[in-house]
Amino acid sequence: MFRAAAKSLILALCVVSMGLLVTPANANPLYPTPDPDPFFQEPGDLADRAPGDVIRVKRIDTGFYVGTDGWQVAFRSTNSANKPILAVTTVLMPQGVKNPPLVSYQALINSLGTQCSPSRSLFNGELQDSVGAMLPIGRGWAISMPDYLGPTVAYGAARLGGMVTLDSVKAVQKVTELGLSQAPVVLAGYSGGGMATAWAGALQPTYAPDLKLAAVVAGGIPADLREMALALGFDPHPGFGLAFAAAMGLEREYPNRLPISDQLNENGLWFRDFTKDACRRFLLFHGITRNAEQLAASKDLMNSPEAHTVLRENSLRYDDHLPTAPTFFWQGRYDTMTFFGPVEEVAQRYCRGGVPLTFRPYEIAEHLTTAVAGFPEAWTYVEARFRGDPVTTTC
């Protein structure tokens, strides 16, 4: 059993690639190029602030998101080592709507660069689900889109995403000019955004007990990173670039527990350097011909119980927290990317724990098709919560 788990770790975490043979720099984690805007820089007194405290606010030009006014809010949050970090969320307000409800939408961030997070990708063409994210605006709702992977863009760090999401809502409610202090709040997201959303719902009763949520809505949830790693295999895989990015993202978040770069050879380090600021399309394009067997310097990580522990810590399947907010999950029964079984197991545990859960399986295999199929009912569920309708459950 342990050998199988350890094998899965090498598949997901020791991903390497073919590249130009060069002399590697060092095997420390490689972080993204910091955003040059001073708005994104940590203040010297960050540690003195509480999670969710507002650091600074600015108005922004919302560009082609017509009918909206925009703000960005920098706030204090917490990383997986319980250390303070500066995080940012982008808020779009529907013009002409008084006292709108608030949707915190956790967008897809399958990336490693700061320009790939919503604060930038909303406006540079990199945001994958910008159209879907704007549906709340069309309903007259305000929307907040946090950079939930934090300042190091720690892709794969699910628990981090949950904490940043919760703190982003607390911060938005404190910004006087937004007028959202009393607004009902729903968390929503799909795939990686669904993972951050579901984790936020699970952590809210203990991490942010003072925050009231009207609902948590998540689909296509990667609920077991270990199982996903095992399925990757050694053969070329169309999603290899994203798997590599997840390995690098987890190393950024757990540098002392996951020294993944130490296990890469020269070509693996080259690919790490080549993709450190990359967004989804770049990662997929350059990873499509590569696989995990090609150029690992060592397989010692296969024997690391710590790596196995980190994957479990970021897998909702193994987490004991129970949300208290009304929750809506949807998942493709034959989804070959994020898998149905782990989410079904979480749903069953939630039902046993008394969570007011609606769980909708879809007889679909393709991951993004499930998103399109499930979002209409998901947004209808959100609308019902904003109206104050009786909470439904499939438990």
Q: Which contiguous run of DSSP H or E holds residue 219? A: strand 215-219
Count the residues in the chain.
Answer: 395
Burial of 89-102, coded b for 16+ CB within 10 Å and e otherwise, reads: bbbbbbeeeeebbb
pLDDT of res. 296: 65
pLDDT of res. 343: 97
Q: Which residue has the tokens 């967004």?
A: 279
The residue ranges of every structural domain in the chain are 1-390
Average the pLDDT over 283-290 and give the result. 84
CB contact at 8 A, 203 and 324 = no
CB contact at 8 A, 191 and 220 = yes
Enter the DSSP assignment of 41: S
Picking from 10-19, 207-216, 258-267, 374-383, which range would have the lowest pLDDT averaged per residue? 10-19
Tokens describing residue 46:
């960050």
Residue 7 has pLDDT above 50, yes or no: no
- Highest averaged pLDDT of the listed ranges 162-166, 269-273, 277-281, 303-307: 162-166
Residue 363 has pLDDT above 90, yes or no: yes
Confidence of residue 130 (pLDDT cuts 50, 70, 90): confident
**Alpha carbons 90 and 61: distance in angstroms, whole number:** 11
Confidence of residue 3 (pLDDT cuts 50, 70, 90): very low
Higher pLDDT, 301 or 109: 109
Q: What are phi and psi of 154, to 5 degrees?
A: -85, 75
Q: In 46-147, where does DSSP find H-type helix?
A: 118-124, 130-133, 135-138
Percent above pLDDT 90 for the chain: 70
What is the CATH code of the structural domain delimited by 1-390? 3.40.50.1820
Instruction: State the burial class of residue 162 (Cβ atoms within 10 Å of its Cβ: 0-12, 13-18, 19+).
Output: buried
Which of 50, 44, 55, 61 minimizes the C-alpha distance to 172?
55
Average the pLDDT over 158-163 and give the result. 98
CB contact at 8 A, 62 and 69 = yes
Q: Does residue 376 come out as left (phi exceeding 0), alpha (psi in the -120 to 50 range) or beta?
A: alpha
Residue 131 has pLDDT above 90, yes or no: no
Q: Which residue has the tokens 């082609």?
A: 64
pLDDT of res. 243: 86
Tokens describing residue 124:
């540079």
Picking from 114-123, 224-233, 256-265, which range would have the lowest pLDDT averaged per residue? 224-233
pLDDT of res. 106: 97
pLDDT of res. 298: 63
Enter the DSSP assignment of 264: B
**Alpha carbons 270 and 182: distance in angstroms, whole number:** 50
CB contact at 8 A, 358 and 341 = no
Average the pLDDT over 325-354 and give the result. 95
Burial of 233-270, coded b for 16+ CB within 10 Å and e otherwise, reads: eeeebebbbbbbbbbbbbbbbbbebbbbbbbbbbbbbb
Higher pLDDT, 227 or 143: 143
Contacts of 340 (CB under 8 A, 6+ apart): 331, 332, 333, 334, 361
Confidence of residue 2 (pLDDT cuts 50, 70, 90): very low
Which of 346, 356, 357 minimizes the C-alpha distance to 321?
346
CB contact at 8 A, 17 and 278 = no
**Other C-beta atoms lying within 10 Å of the C-beta of residue 82:** 7
**Alpha carbons 101 and 99: distance in angstroms, whole number:** 7
> Hey, which residues does 231 pair with through a beta bridge?
none
Which of 148, 238, 239, 251 minimizes the C-alpha distance to 194?
148
